[in-house]
């Protein structure tokens, strides 16, 4: 599996977390498709579980634990 660059993921989702939203995997994958994100970013977000992600730092941590970041 190719791995996503954190800067690309952050640029895609930062605005949502700045607004205080707690999106789940489905929300983030949908956003990635809407914004025509790279396949690597989509695949990385697809590794998340179904629970809402509490923060940008939490998202990065989860993606690192899943081995989805370069």
Q: In terms of residue numbers, what domain contains 49?
A: 6-65
Q: What tens digit of pLDDT does each residue of 36-54 get?
A: 999 999 999 999 999 999 9
Q: Which pTM was predicted?
A: 0.94
pLDDT at 1 over 90: no
Inside any domain, residue 57: yes
Scanning the chain, the segments in alpha helix (DSSP H) are 6-18, 25-34, 39-45, 56-65
Q: What tens digit of pLDDT does each residue of 23-33 get?
A: 999 999 999 99
Inside any domain, residue 16: yes
Q: How many domains does the chain have?
A: 1
**Confidence (pLDDT) at 20:** 96
Inside any domain, residue 41: yes
């Amino acid at each position: 599996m190719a791995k996503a660059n954190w800067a690309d993921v952050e640029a895609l989702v930062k605005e949502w977390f700045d607004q205080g939203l707690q999106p789940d995997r489905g929300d983030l994958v949908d956003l990635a498709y809407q914004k025509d994100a790279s396949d690597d970013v989509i695949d990385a977000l697809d590794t998340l579980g179904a629970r809402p992600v509490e923060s940008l730092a939490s998202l990065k941590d989860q993606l690192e634990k899943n081995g989805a970041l370069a």
